[in-house]
A and B are shown apart, each in its own frame.
Chain A
Amino acid sequence: MLNRTADNVARATPEPLARKIRGISDKGLAWLFISPTILLLLAINIFPLFWAIYLSFTNYRANRPNEVVKNLGLSNYQRILGDQDIWIAMQTTAHFVFWTILLQTVIGFTLAWLIDRKFRGHAFWTTIILVPMMLSPAVVGNFWRFLYEPQIGLFSYVISFVTGIPPTNVQMLSNVELAPWAIIIVDTWMWTPYVMLICLAGLRSIPEYIYEAAEVDRASNWRQFWSITLPMALPFIMLAVLFRGIENFKMFDMVNLLTGGGPGSTTEVASITLKRQAFESWRTGYSSAFAIILFVAVFGLANIYVKALNKVKQR
């Protein structure tokens, strides 16, 4: 079937051009194939990045296009690094990233370990578990606001039903203590399947004969778990942590819809601060500097982490 398509293409192409294409060298073809992608990325990613770097040294504001742009040198960076609120946002982000990763790894690994028992119907139930992570965090996050509603929300109702706390007192989104956990719960609900899936691949990659050898040595189940299962699945777990870490460091959509950063600023993660500065206060230069700092931070942390991951893999 495809042969025909190719023939049609060949026939439709004017003869001299066709000869030219056919006669193209491998090297030429490689560049012909790769360059469109590179060009697109240069236009949509790299050029804007350099523009942002330039803006970060100025006082430019997107809502005052007619004003004179002043070069501020490094003062935007100094202001950000000295800004109390930015540090609070970074702490909030760190708290969110740490707890979501911890919970998702522990629950995800446990689930994977259980699924690996291969009980009857495990494939079907695995697919069911995977559903939340495929959905739009914004659209589903928005609906969680309803589930968290005191009294009428299903989540609050279930909590008060189980614990006996009056349903009006389960205020997940308005209580300063609870709100950071409210976003952690939703993120964990959504992304635990992700970690689970990767861990499952890790567990399945462990060759059977290692366990058989351990069995011969009469190693206890506990020993087997600690000395075989966990170390051998570790590179996979670390990979999952890497991906989740990057994603959650960038977290915006779900938190923006669930709490919008509130109450007060208790759930204001870095991306929300950035949005407020860039698209509500329109401090374009200042927020570009903050964006660059965030980018460098993610990039740097990820690089260090990848080095560690490679070390674990080599072991």
Chain B
Amino acid sequence: MKSTLKLALGLASAITASTAVSTAAHAEDLTLCWAAWDPANALVELSKDFTKETGIGMKFEFVPWTEYAARFLNELNSHGKLCDLIIGDSQWIGGSAENGHYIKLNDFFDKEKISMDDFVPATVVGYSEWPKNTPNYWALPAMGDVVGWTYRKDWFSKPELQKEFKEKYGWDLAAPTTFDQLKQIAEFFQKRQIDGKTVYGASIYTERGSEGITMGAMDVLYSFGFQYENPKKPYEMEGFVNSEKSVKGLEFYKALYDCCTPPGASNSYMGEGVDAFKSGQVAMHMNFAFTWPGLQKDENVGGDKIGYFVNPKGPDGDQFAQLGGQGISVVSYSDKQESALKYIKWFANKDVQAKWWSLGGYSCLNAVVKDPKFPSSQPYAQTFLDSMAIVKDFWAEPSYAQLLQASQKRFHDYVVAGQGSAKDALDGLVKDWTQVFQDDGKM
């Protein structure tokens, strides 16, 4: 008994001592929270320069996309002090501004002469402003991102496949410009034998738990004519969310899922998409642009084998793409706001932004992306610019999480589980969203 007690005491004191030491040593370190993905790892590499310059150490908390929103919104709502800096998703801005999670950056920008006019306009509206289109800034645009597509250039250029494709569909096999073409290509490749392996048409977003299937379906629905609300009357959704065009779009997404995706791809988001493309399973791959630098450098599918294309046009020629990306904000519960602001000041620097782009991040600074050398700096640079020009985003309302939950359920139940019709799903969505806005007192 005595020895047990001693052991317990010894352990307890050792543990207390070690935590005390570790907290003392890192008292001045900043913690930056973001999603666990390639750009975040590149940011760790980039931030070494910040530590060298200022002596402020950096710690990082990265969470996979499928848990990113749930975890960090939980953290912000609990008024936790884990994150000093957070690169929060574009849709969180409304809630985080209204509930006081982020500090407002206007004064800081004025003092440090950081001008939002120096950043790509779409990213300023998307990542920094709340209310939208007013000069109230809650974040510095940090990572531009948008949904686009990659394809296997090497397969597309095989003469025998080109010939067969032309005979079958009557046009030349190339990166599609309309969704109809995209589906034909996907059908063409589905279950085809290439280099002794069975391959599939396309990898698309179908994830249920966080935001996956909404991002994917919306990316298609926009171009088919989906609108969130009556442009003239806010929050009027009947006939816009569930318009005939929207129904067509959602039916298309399901048809694409049913005919042309790899087996078992019922819960796939960015990570699974990357895996499917990298393992040579799919001919085309829907994903956010952040995945492109990594794929371009991949030994097996990168280099000359990969091509990129902008989200295709819908039946009426409309063309939009789902906005991704984030701004960097200072958390209001942090005790180290001054150091955190130093980081933002450092990060806004032109040279840092240029290195950010070269390491695999997507800078939002005009000086970087409007540089005449930019489009040719990487094979995907032009596609990125073209995509950023046609972006649309999901609701950024404070109730975004509830709105997203509803669309996740409606879309997954219809597209993946095959319950009901597209019309049912969208009618249900109007009902759910109306309920949310009514609870908020906005309708």
Contacts and interface: CB of A to CB of B under 8 A. Distances in A.
Interface of A: 1-2, 4-5, 59, 62-66, 85, 149-151, 168-169, 171, 173-176, 259-266, 276, 279-283
B167 interface: no
B135 to A, nearest CB: 24
A262 B416 contact: yes
B403 to A, nearest CB: 9
Nearest to A153: B264
B418 interface: yes
B74 interface: yes
B412 A262 contact: yes
Interface residues of B, number: 33
20 contacts: A1-B1, A2-B2, A64-B99, A66-B99, A149-B264, A150-B263, A168-B198, A168-B263, A173-B266, A174-B263, A259-B267, A261-B209, A262-B417, A263-B416, A264-B413, A265-B413, A266-B417, A279-B70, A280-B405, A282-B402
A198 to B, nearest CB: 29
Nearest to B403: A281
Interface string B1-23: 11001000000000000000000
Contacts of A281: 401-402, 405
A264 B405 CA distance: 12
Interface in B408-425: 409, 412-413, 416-419
Contact of A262 (B2, B74, B100, B208): B208
B95 A63 contact: yes
Interface string B232-273: 000000000000000000000000000000111111000000
A85 B416 CA distance: 17
Interface of B: 1-2, 5, 66, 69-70, 73-74, 77, 95, 99-100, 198, 208-209, 262-267, 398, 401-402, 405, 409, 412-413, 416-419, 439
Nearest to A8: B2
B99 A264 contact: no
A314 B73 CA distance: 53
A265 B409 contact: yes
A263 B267 contact: yes
Nearest to B435: A79
Given A2-B2, A174-B416, A260-B267, 8 more contacts: A63-B398, A66-B99, A85-B409, A150-B264, A171-B264, A174-B263, A264-B418, A282-B401
A64 B70 contact: no
The listed residue with most A CB atoms (<10 A of its CB), out of B1, B70, B398, B417, is B417
B77 A62 contact: yes
